[in-house]
Structure formats: structure tokens, C-alpha cells
Amino acid sequence: MTGWDVHTHLIPPTVLAAAHRGEFGLAADAEYLVVDGHEKLPLGKLGDPAALLTWVDEQDLDGAVVSVPPALFRYDQGIEWAALVNQGLRELAGPRIRVLAHLPLLNASAAALAAALGEEGIFSGFALGTPGFAGLDPVWEVLDRLRAFTLVHPGHSRDPRLDAFYLSNLLGNPYETGLAAAELVFTDVPARYPGIKFCLCHGGGVTAALAGRWQRGIDTARPGIEPPSLPVMEALQRFAVDDLVHDPAVLTLLEATFGQVLAGSDWPFPMGSDDLDRRRAGTAEALTRPLGLVEPLDQEVAQP
């Protein structure tokens, strides 16, 4: 065995059960989970942990790290939704499936929930979408305290120009990840909260290509920029990324830009990888071990 795939997805069984009951704005038939009446997730492999373990065996891996598909982030649904999702993720966890908890970023109880999840020793970290990271210092404090592996996965871009040519995925996803990385870099999160083990999906999106431009903006004191304590390239060395870029030349750039490049397949989606790099898969073992015990927090997060 040679390591872990850090970027795979499953629909938690509790979410499927809620869909069959018609709860939380969900519906399901034999083929699809329908979210809020419009977004469809194909069931098949997404609802089948055994299919994921077959992938793990085919790739000769120790296991896979699971987060929910981004259509299920649903940050407007708050604590009750997070509890449903996380209970289903607990049910999926096992020796060869590590799970990343859902964190209700826009809810005032986010930090208290994060601490409780860390105490359980079941979750291997957290998966965050990209709803905007302003005002989340109290959340970062919790994740820093947990030394949490924190996967940043793009959500849907709201730019209607991306509706054609599948650009909402081909261009929108890399943009969303780059925007999230920029928010973290320009608010000095990597320096202020060095315990967080951020991993950006899809090779960090556009981040590596724009790092020099971001530094130029800092060096020339462009409007609205408060210089972070770390130069951009030094800050990015504190991030990991997955290797899902479909271009060997881009992998060379990633290795020069980020601190670690991990193996991530985006299984079972069509834009994912058919074959993992075993060397990069081996580097994720320590990063994604289940979180240990932490002391409870004394206060909750202030509303962003």
C-alpha cells in the first residue's frame, strides 16, 4: 500500500435518507439526488462507499479521504444541516475511509461545533467551500488549535458568463479556489494561524499562476492592500495542494510554489483523475490522521 487519496466524495447516508423523506429541500429517485429543486447529483458511485473502496484497491492505496460534494455545502442551512451531514460522515468513517467534517461557516456556533468534532477523534479535518472567508478569525483560531487538515474545495461561481461551455467548472472552479487563497494570503492567515494545514483543491486553481502578480500589488502599494507579514511565495509554501491539474507542466509550477503537492483524484467525478501518483499519495498519511482531543472552547464565534 502506498498512501491516501485526499480528494474524494461521497453522499452521506443520512443525506440520502433525508432526501427520500423530502426533508431539507432534498429529493431523490433511482438515479439522482436533487438539491433545492435544481441541482442534480448522480447517485451511483457517489452513494456507494464500496465503490470507493474498489477505487482504493485498484490504485493500491491505504485509503481515501472523503468530503461531501460541493452541492451539499449549503451554508445557508446552518447547524441542523451540518449535524445531519456530519452524522452521515461518521457512519462512513472506517480504517480505509477518513472523513472531513462539514463546518457551518456562516453560523455563530461554528467554532464550538469545530471543537466538539475535534474531541471525537473520528474526523480527519474539515472541508470548506468558498462562500467568502471574511470575519472568520474565530474559526481559524479553532482550526489552528486543532492543527486541522483543512481542504478548501470550490463552490459554484455566480458569474452567469460561465454558463456556456461547462465553464462554471472549467474556469469557475479554479477561479473560486484562487479567490479563497487570495483572501487567506492577504489577511495573513498562514502566518497568524500556522497550525492549520490548508490543502487547496485542483492544484490551487489559478493561485500559482497569479502569485507573482499578487506580490507586485503588495510591492507597489495598490489600493486596499494591507501588506501581510509574509511575502506571497513564503505564505504559499505553507499550503498544500492536490495534483489534479491534468498537465505535467503545471505540476512543475505547483512543486515550485507550494509546500506540498498531494495526490487527489476528485473521485468519482468525470473531471477527476484516472490514475494517482503513488509518491504523492504517500505524503498524506500524517496530515490526514484523525484529529486528537482538544480542550473545549469557552466561547462561540461571533457572527461574520
Does pLDDT of 11 surpass 70? yes
For 42-59, what is the mean pLDDT?
95
Q: Are 6 and 267 in contact (CB under 8 A)?
A: no
Rg over alpha carbons for the chain, rounded to the nearest Å, is 18
**pLDDT tens-place string over residues 66-124:** 999 999 999 999 889 999 999 999 999 999 999 999 998 887 567 667 777 777 789 99
Spatial distance between the Cα atoms of 250 and 244, rounded to a whole number of angstroms: 10
**What was the pLDDT predicted at 293?**
53
- pLDDT level of residue 299 (50, 70, 90 thresholds): very low
**pLDDT tens-place string over residues 191-238:** 999 999 999 999 999 999 999 999 999 999 999 999 999 999 999 999
Spatial distance between the Cα atoms of 180 and 132, rounded to a whole number of angstroms: 7
Does pLDDT of 172 surpass 90? yes
**pLDDT tens-place string over residues 143-165:** 999 999 999 999 988 899 999 99
**What was the pLDDT predicted at 124?**
95
3-state secondary structure the chain: CCCEEEEEECCCHHHHHHHHCCCCCEEECCCEEEECCCEEEECHHHHCHHHHHHHHHHCCCCEEEEECCHHHCCHHHHHHHHHHHHHHHHHHCECCEEECEECCCCCCCHHHHHHHHHHHCCCCEEEECCCCCCCCHHHHHHHHHHCCEEEECCCCCCCHHHHHHHHHHHCHHHHHHHHHHHHHHHCCHHHHCCCCEEEECHHHCCHHHHHHHHHHHHHCCCCCCCCCCCCHHHHHCCCEEECCCCCHHHHHHHHHHCCEEECCCCECCCCCCCCCCHHHHHHHCCCCCCCCCCCCCCCCCCCC
What fold is seen in the domain 4-288?
A: TIM Barrel (3.20.20)
**What was the pLDDT predicted at 39?**
85
Query: How many Å separate Cα 194 from the centre of its chain?
Result: 18
Taking all residues of the chain, what is their mean pLDDT, rounded to a whole number?
Answer: 92
**pLDDT tens-place string over residues 269-297:** 999 999 999 889 988 988 999 987 555 44
- Would you list the domain boundaries of the chain? 4-288
Contacts of residue 212, defined as CB under 8 A and 6 or more positions apart, other chains included, come to: 232
Whose CA is closest to 8, among 278, 277, 272?
272
**What was the pLDDT predicted at 179?**
97
Does pLDDT of 251 surpass 50? yes
